[in-house]
Copies of this chain bind each other. A is one copy, B any other.
Amino acid sequence: MKYSVSEENYIKAIYHLQQEVDRVNTMLLASTLETKPASITDMLKKLKTKRLLDYKPYYGFKLSAEGNRVALSIVRRHRLWEFFLAEKLKFNWEEVHEMAEDLEHVSNKKLIDKLDAFLGYPKFDPHGDPIPDQDGKIQKEEHVLLSELKLKAQGRVTKIKSHSKKIMDLVAHQQINIGSRITVKKVFEFDESMEIVIDGKTTKNISQQLAKNIFIGNAQ
């Protein structure tokens, strides 16, 4: 089955919101898609008739099993393209998301599977988010916040919690990248700031607020 760009964007948005809140509603979806509630209702009805959504007017909605399958295939495309853009075309991993928003709607399965092979079947995208495989299976991320890492502990950066410009600015300036190996050298009791070594080379001091936004884990 082939879905329109709009349909795919709705499915994807619902999928992502469902990972974060236990009940997605019309208002929330309208604000994330920057559209009006009335437009949401229209699309909900459409997705319901296509059996991608369990939806009862006024009683809320959630993706059906099939809707979930479709969402995972969109997420797969998005993250594979992100990986391609960062790894092969050498884009900064902060700028790949937007371009992947367009590319994700190119849905030829054979193309996506060959792209996957070309990239070496990556398990995580440049943001550290897992890439679903052909069957929609996702490799579980096991990561802890850098702020919770013990003294002398070591690990690789797998993900930055928020992708806001403010955080990305700081993270980039501090030369902290996905895949960077971090060693905790010192934790200062006063403000819980920490001294870390990045890739065994650079030593940096970072605030607790920042450390609370950096995940260290098992990716790649």
A103 partner, pick from B85, B99, B106, B114, beta carbons under 8 A: B106
Q: Contact at A118–B89, with CB atoms within 8 Å? A: yes
Q: Which residue of B lies closest to A96 (CB)?
A: B111
Q: Contact at B106–A85, with CB atoms within 8 Å? A: no
Q: Contact at A115–B89, with CB atoms within 8 Å? A: yes
For the complex, give the distance between the alpha carbons of A154 and B91 in Å.
42
Per-residue CB proximity of A35-69 to B under 8 Å, as 1/0? 00000000000000000000000000000000000
Q: Contact at B88–A99, with CB atoms within 8 Å? A: no
In the complex, the count of this chain's copies comes to 2
Nearest CB of B to A83, in Å: 14
Interface assignment of A108: CB less than 8 Å from any CB of chain B: yes
Q: Contact at B99–A108, with CB atoms within 8 Å? A: yes
Q: Within residues 143 to 197 of chain A, which ones have a CB less than 8 A from any CB in chain B?
A: none
Supply 14 further A-B pairs (C-beta < 8 A) apart from A91-B114, A102-B106, A103-B106: A85-B111, A88-B118, A89-B111, A89-B114, A89-B115, A89-B118, A90-B114, A90-B118, A99-B106, A99-B108, A99-B111, A102-B108, A103-B103, A106-B106
